[in-house]
Structure 1
Amino acid sequence: MAVGQDLLNVPFPEMVKSMGVGIAEAQYELDLTSLKIARLMAGYAPEDEEEGTASSARPNLVKIGDDSPDGYSLLELGFTPTFYQFVDTLIEVKMSISMATVSESKRSSTTVNASVSGKVGFLSASAKMKVSTVSASFSSKYQYSAEGSSLMRTKLVTVPAPAILEERIRAMLSTESEPE
């Protein structure tokens, strides 16, 4: 009975939920990081995370010879930020539960017979005696072992930047590069 209950006690739904939430949170952080990298690759300064403000200046430009007095952003030079996505998530749980009960009992006995007879004058007497000793011992051993292991594995792959993001970045760069 206890073995079945132990199998039911495995928190499989919680493990699946925790893994799913963990992957979603990690995906969110990966996406935010990729967007920050896209901003840096566009030539902008990093956001001030304490204040939550972003500068419109573009100090992170690459200058190539005299052809680029202002410089080019990495995006203008054809580089793109890398985005990542989780795929092929696997949860594997292995359990081994065993129970054993061993009962042992021992009994031993010893019997001693004795007889006595005697005569004193005209009186005579005799007695017989039988003595038995009994020794009993009982022991019970209960063994229980439960072993378990779990494995959680996920695969992370690169994916191209969203097409709409690339279009908006290119549109933004073309409006900024037009002379005023």
Structure 2
Amino acid sequence: MAIGQELLNVPFGEMVSSLGQAISQAQLQLDTTSMRIAQIMAGEGYDVPDADGDGTHEEHLLVKFGEDELSMLELGFTPSFYHFVDTIIEVKISITMSTEISSSLSTFSGSFNSYFALFAAGASCSSVSASYANKYNYSAEGSSLIRTKIAPVPPPSILEQRIKALIAART
């Protein structure tokens, strides 16, 4: 019973849900950043803090070749896009099994001897914490792990089409 209860106390579903939401939010931020970089690479203006720190001014990222000023997109560069491809959640718990036998021999008035024995078995489960690691010499290194992998992916095909149309319209 104790093992089952302790395992139920680990909020694994909540942890998976929170991780999924965090990845979704992070993916949105990655995509938004990549789109903003695409706009900058197209030569659109972006705000840069003033030297005095009181405000911002707009700059355009253009490269001068002879008489022409070209955007990075016109020169063939493309923004990088990234995608979460693998996520691993690893949670280690410790399960301790214990057995205890207690016995006693008693003498009651006269010569009546009685023998009492008590047998108890139990199991307990706990997450590996710093106090557990110190108390039982358990190495807690890596006891909880969340690992994710981000890989570059090609820009969306419709974005590539729009980039080509933008370049064609400028030339």
Q: TM-score range by the shorter chain?
A: 0.5 to 0.7
Q: Percent identity between the aligned chains?
A: 51
- Pair 3,165 (structure 1): closer, same or farther in 2 beyond 3 Å: same
- What is residue 118 of structure 2 aligned with on the other side? none
Contact 1:97 1:145 (8 Å CA) reproduced: yes
Question: 1:31 is paired with a residue of what secondary structure?
Answer: helix
Is residue 36–residue 46 contact of structure 1 (8 Å, CA) maintained in 2? Answer: no
How far apart are 1:90 and its partner, in Å? 1.4
- 1:122-180, CA deviations, whole angstroms, 9 ceiling, x for partnerless residues? xxxxxxxxxxxxxxxxxxxx9966243322111100001111101112212322x25xx
Is 165-174 or 142-151 further displaced after alignment?
Answer: 142-151
5+ residue gaps, structure 2: 49-57, 108-121, 129-142
Query: What is the CA distance between 1:87 and its match in structure 2?
Result: 0.5
3-state DSSP of counterpart to 1:39: helix
2:159: which partner in 1? 165
Q: TM-score, normalised by structure 1?
A: 0.64
Q: Distance in 2 between matches of 1:6 and 1:31?
A: 40
Q: Which amino acid aligns with 1:77?
A: L
Alignment CA distance shift 1:144-1:10 (3 Å): closer
Question: What is aligned with 1:129?
Answer: none
| Aligned CA-pair RMSD | 3.2
What's the secondary structure of 1:96's corresponding residue? strand
Residue equivalent to 2:54: none
AA of the residue aligned to 2:150: L
Give the C-alpha shift of residue 58 in structure 1.
7.6
Q: Distance in 2 between matches of 1:41 and 1:59?
A: 9
- Residue aligning to 1:61: 62
Deviation sequence 1:79-103 (CA, Å, 0-9, x none): 0000000002111222112153646
Comparing 36-45 and 164-173, the one that deviates more: 164-173
Length-normalised TM-score, structure 2: 0.67
Unaligned runs of 5+ in 1: 49-56, 110-141
Q: Larger helix proportion, structure 1 or 2? A: 2
- The counterpart of 1:74, out of the listed 72, 75, 78, is 72
Shift of 1:108: 8.7
Alignment partner, residue 32 of structure 2: 32
Paired residues in the alignment total: 140
| CA distance in structure 2 between the aligned counterparts of 1:37 and 1:102, rounded to whole angstroms | 66
User: Are 2:20 and 1:20 aligned?
Assistant: yes
